[in-house]
Amino acid sequence: MHLSGLPDRSTWKGGVDGQGSGAVQATGTGDYLRNRGHRVQDVVAELGRYVLGWLGYFGISHTYRVLLELEEWVRRRVRLYYWKQWKRPGTRRRHLMALGISKERVKLASRSRKGYWRMSGNSVVQCALTNAWLKEQGVPDMRAKWVALHYPDQQGV
């Protein structure tokens, strides 16, 4: 438990039965995520199925703030997966520039020796792989699904 009385992130990652939550299993833990060798689109599609099941199971809960933190963590984990897939500095540079980042900023990020998790939180990577871009790629919008589940009569208002 966290000091605020809400479950901490270890609860999300451990799952209810200790077998791991769906989001962690879909995006992976440790080497599983970074070395599984699947296309990002396949991982995102698998993640969408887990999120839908997770919301179905835990949807009766009213812990909206925890859901937002989990959604933020999942998006960062997907950014990590993209960063790992790009692997080489030249590939990273090409993708970042294609996503509209300037050469000066790309140079700082593409040759960084920081780890994958740290780079997934880097401002350059976050500006390139925005939440809107991730949504276009199929990363599930947990917030919208939670709102639709709890307030079905307010759709389109």
Share of the chain above pLDDT 90, in %: 39
Is residue 98, in this structure, part of any structural domain at all?
Answer: yes
Q: What is the pLDDT of residue 3?
A: 45
DSSP 152: G
- Alpha carbon 59 to its chain centroid, in Å, reads 19
Query: What average pLDDT is seen over the chain?
Result: 79
Is residue 124, in this structure, part of any structural domain at all?
Answer: yes
Q: What is the pLDDT of residue 152?
A: 82
pLDDT means per 10 residues, the chain with 157 residues, are 48 49 52 63 88 77 81 93 92 95 92 92 94 92 85 70
Task: Centre a 10 Å sphere on the Cβ of residue 130 and count the other Cβ atoms it contains.
Answer: 14
Is residue 115, in this structure, part of any structural domain at all?
Answer: yes
The count of structural domains within the chain is 1
Q: What is the pLDDT of residue 75?
A: 93
Which tens digits make up the pLDDT trace of 53-63? 888 777 666 67
Q: What six digits make up the tokens of 65? A: 């703030």
Q: Which domain holds residue 147?
A: 9-151
Is residue 1, in this structure, part of any structural domain at all?
Answer: no
Task: Centre a 10 Å sphere on the Cβ of residue 28 and count the other Cβ atoms it contains.
Answer: 21
Is residue 131, in this structure, part of any structural domain at all?
Answer: yes
CB 70 within 8 A of CB 139: no
* Nearest alpha-carbon partner for 149 in 79, 57, 73: 57
The one-letter amino acid code at 13 reads K
Is residue 49, in this structure, part of any structural domain at all?
Answer: yes
Q: Phi/psi at 123 (nearest 5 deg)?
A: -65, -35
pTM: 0.72
Q: What is the pLDDT of residue 2?
A: 46
Is residue 3, in this structure, part of any structural domain at all?
Answer: no
